[in-house]
Amino acid sequence: MSNIGDSRAIMGSNDSNDSMVAIQLTIDLKPDLPREAERIKRCKGRVFALQDEPEVPRVWLPFDDAPGLAMARAFGDFCLKDYGVISIPEFSHASYRQRRVHCSCLGWSNTFENISAFICSCGLSCHSNVTIIAKVSQHRAFAAFTNIYWFDENISL
């Protein structure tokens, strides 16, 4: 599996008590992760959160408080490429042959910051129409995001 930016993969499965659990397969590559922050700072980029948004660390140019990218890896955002933002995905591999997998879910752009992975995986595994539950989850994440922030965000699931 490969991962870049603020994308995340989860899997819905059963634990030893046969209860539904969400297993996070990847991590969001945010700029405050130690290895990501080290690379950015080595390249003269800056990592900090704004006072009115302390929970969102961002990457900034060394000479300007712009653009404020909330991820450490991205395909675009070329103005930050010389300052530590890279487009190389992180690769991982895991075997889950011993588990009964109900569903998997990929989301990005604040999907799992606004709805829990557990809710998403339970909904996908319990509903017969996966398209409907994915759309409902996406709309809930978007509604939660726009209640917090004044701008729209591209939330995908």
DSSP string, 83-104: GT-B-PPEE-----TTS-EEEE
Q: pLDDT per residue over 49-74, tens digit each?
A: 999 889 889 999 999 999 999 899 98
Residue 3's SS3 state is: strand
- The chain-wide mean pLDDT, for the chain, equals 75
pLDDT computed for residue 45 by the predictor: 97
10 Å CB burial of residue 66 (0-12, 13-18, 19+) is: exposed
**Two tokens at 79?**
């103005």
Question: Is the pLDDT at 24 greater than 70, yes or no?
Answer: yes
Averaged pLDDT, 26-41: 93
Give residue-wise pLDDT tens across range 79-132: 999 999 999 988 877 666 666 666 666 665 555 555 555 455 455 555 455 565
Taking the C-alpha atoms of residue 23 and residue 118, their distance in angstroms, rounded to an integer, is 8
Task: State the pLDDT at residue 4.
Answer: 82
Question: Is the C-alpha dihedral spanning 77, 80, 82, 83 positive or negative?
Answer: negative
What pTM was estimated for this model as a whole?
A: 0.68
More confident call, 142 vs 35: 35
Contacts of 108 (CB under 8 A, 6+ apart): 5, 6, 7, 8, 155, 156
Q: Which of 83-92, 106-115, 135-144, 148-157 is least confident?
A: 148-157
Q: Are 89 and 4 in contact (CB under 8 A)?
A: yes
